[in-house]
């Protein structure tokens, strides 16, 4: 019976719930392979060649992650014997894999994600329209917009309260963060409009 079960701090982390669950890299791989079947090498090239942000093209990250997903039945690999070149294992997403991906994409947008893991949200959004359709993308954007408004407001409040007492460079650094979120907010609002127009066209 642990008596210290309720602490002041609630660790600042997304519930990763390590172990059997799929992590960020796993979902990214799932999403990319869903778009187009690919080998580990293909994926490494995507990471090194496109502005895909923070992801490393290191084999020590990608191959074990792929092996884990294949072991869990979310990906199915087929070895392609090709003329001459070393054989490559092309991975396809399975039905289970696709439904796991969809479940991830369907998760509601939390304020905490907006504050600490905005890049992850943008990654989810990048797959969203493709996998779940435009309606889901619009819903996502509206949730994102609402949380961004809240967060920008609280950053500004913090700056007004603590800013004058902070060293110049510290305050400027914080302002840069606030401006970044404001830019995201403007983008989200514009993106909502873009999607609404898309819908009208169809209607």
Tell me which residues touch DNA (CB under 7 A). Answer: 2-8, 11-19, 23-26, 39-42, 44-45, 56, 58-61, 63-68, 82, 84-90
Query: Cβ 44 to a second copy, closest distance in Å?
Result: 6
Q: Which residues pair with 38 in a beta bridge?
A: 91
Residue 74 makes CB contacts below 8 A (sequence gap 6+) with 22, 26, 30, 93, 94, 96, 97, 100
Burial class (CB in 10 A: 0-12, 13-18, 19+), 78: exposed
| Residue closer to DNA (CB basis): 81 or 202 | 81
65 binds, among a second copy, DNA, none (CB under 5 to 8 A by kind): DNA
Query: Cβ 40 to DNA, closest distance in Å?
Result: 4
170 near a second copy, rule: CB under 8 A: yes
| Residue closer to a second copy (CB basis): 76 or 198 | 198
| Residue closer to a second copy (CB basis): 51 or 71 | 51
Closest CA to 93 of 35, 25, 43: 35
Residue 203 to residue 201: CA distance in whole angstroms = 6
158 binds, among a second copy, DNA, none (CB under 5 to 8 A by kind): a second copy
What one-character DSSP code corresponds to residue 60? Answer: H
């Amino acid at each position: 019976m642990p008596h210290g079960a309720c602490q002041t701090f609630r660790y600042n982390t997304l519930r990763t719930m390590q172990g059997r669950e799929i992590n960020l890299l796993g979902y990214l791989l799932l999403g990319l392979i869903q778009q187009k079947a690919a080998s580990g090498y293909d994926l490494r090239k995507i990471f090194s060649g496109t502005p895909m942000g923070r992801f490393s093209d290191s084999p020590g990250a990608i191959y074990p992650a792929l092996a884990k997903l294949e072991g869990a039945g979310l990906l199915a690999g087929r070895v392609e014997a090709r003329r001459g070149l070393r054989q490559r294992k092309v991975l396809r997403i399975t039905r289970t894999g696709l439904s796991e991906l969809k479940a991830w994409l369907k998760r509601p947008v939390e304020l905490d994600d907006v504050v600490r893991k905005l890049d992850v949200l943008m990654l989810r959004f990048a797959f969203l329209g493709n996998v779940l359709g435009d309606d889901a993308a619009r819903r996502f954007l509206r949730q994102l917009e609402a949380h961004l408004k809240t967060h920008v407001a609280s950053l500004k409040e913090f700056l007004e309260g603590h800013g004058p007492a902070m060293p110049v460079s510290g305050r400027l650094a914080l302002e840069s963060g606030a401006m970044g979120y404001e830019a995201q907010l403007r983008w989200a609002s514009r993106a909502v409009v873009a999607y609404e127009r898309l819908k009208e066209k169809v209607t």
